[in-house]
A and B are shown apart, each in its own frame.
Chain A
Amino acid sequence: MSNLSLKYVVDNQDFTRAGEASSDVKKKLKMMGVPPEAVRKVAIAMYEGEINMVIHANGGEITVDITPTQIIMILKDNGPGIADIEQAMQAGWSTASENIRALGFGAGMGLPNMKKYSDEMDIDTVLGVGTTVTMKVNICVSHKI
């Protein structure tokens, strides 16, 4: 399998279309013959991240690099940044408004889920500038889930 790089622009506040990028990546990985477990981990981790970008962060850009051994997702947003990463990583903690909760999200499971479904996750955030989340999912050796 050769290396492939995919780029997606995530629209600001377009909740209806949120998840389109993750859906496309899932389809492409399946077609490339990536093992189903890795496909699912990438799909869920990226979908949570994509939803976060729409509901919390004014959209942004996602790059997905697919190598023979790893899938690397880089989610860069233009949002407010995360004041306290440790707190944000706690299951159940959320800054989501009632409006977002009414849409089925904002249960405070986004970041913990992204960590759970990726083999490596790194958050680089600057208040008032934005957040870049890098997630890596290993192909073949991923038995975390």
Chain B
Amino acid sequence: MTIADVKRLLKAEILCGEEYISKDVHTACGSDMMSDVLAFVKDQSVLLTGLCNPQVIRTAEMMDIICICFIRGKRPEESIIELAEERGLVVMASDMRMFEACGILYTNGLSGGAKVE
């Protein structure tokens, strides 16, 4: 799946990083707690979140996540989008709820990445 597919499946609007939407993505995670993203995420490329602050972008940066989708109709401020732009991230926004967005991406082939031991 590419980032463009994520955009189409989540009926999302691209807010920045349009030039990178042909990049491949294999795994995703969904959380509003950045602490949990930092704790449990490994090699994920897409982050779905309803949290709207600059730390979402920084968390993605630290974790090498390349695409962030703000869900539940959340729209980040311009300064947050600028931070993402500087880092070459794709940011999109969808009106879907977390459960629905995760389910759609999962059934279309994106995995969670981590295995429960």
**Contact pick for B55, options A15, A26, A113, A145, CB 8 Å:** A15
Given known contacts A18-B55, A44-B38, A113-B39, A107 and B62 CB-to-CB distance under 8 angstroms:
no
Total chain B interface residues with beta-carbon distance under 8 A: 20
CB closest chain-B residue, reference A102: B51
Query: How does the 8 Å CB contact mask read for B41-68 relative to A, with 1 for contact and 0 for none?
Result: 0100000010101111011011110000
**Chain A nearest CB, measured from B113 CB (Å):** 13
Counting chain A CB atoms within 10 Å of each CB, the highest count among B38, B54, B61 belongs to: B38
Please tell me if the beta carbons of A104 and B58 are within 8 angstroms of each other in the complex.
no
**Chain A nearest CB, measured from B16 CB (Å):** 17
Query: What residues on B are CB-neighbors of A116 within 8 Å?
Result: 39
A-B contact pairs, 25 of them (CB 8 A): A15-B53, A15-B55, A16-B53, A19-B54, A19-B55, A19-B58, A40-B63, A40-B64, A43-B62, A44-B62, A44-B63, A48-B38, A91-B39, A101-B33, A103-B55, A104-B32, A104-B51, A104-B53, A104-B59, A105-B33, A107-B36, A109-B36, A109-B38, A110-B35, A145-B42
**Contact pick for A107, options B35, B54, B64, CB 8 Å:** B35
Please tell me if the beta carbons of A106 and B55 are within 8 angstroms of each other in the complex.
no
Please tell me if the beta carbons of B35 and A109 are within 8 angstroms of each other in the complex.
yes
Q: Is the interface of B mostly helix, strand, loop or mixed?
A: helix
Q: Which of A77-98 contact B (CB under 8 A)?
A: 91
**Chain A nearest CB, measured from B55 CB (Å):** 6
**Chain A nearest CB, measured from B37 CB (Å):** 8
Q: Tell whether A5 is near chain B: CB-to-CB under 8 Å.
A: no
Q: Which of A101-140 contact B (CB under 8 A)?
A: 101, 103-110, 112-113, 116
Q: Could you tell me the distance between the alpha carbons of A104 and B49 in the complex, rounded to whole angstroms?
A: 10
Please tell me if the beta carbons of A47 and B38 are within 8 angstroms of each other in the complex.
yes
Please tell me if the beta carbons of A104 and B62 are within 8 angstroms of each other in the complex.
no
Please tell me if the beta carbons of A23 and B61 are within 8 angstroms of each other in the complex.
yes
Q: Tell whether A64 is near chain B: CB-to-CB under 8 Å.
A: no
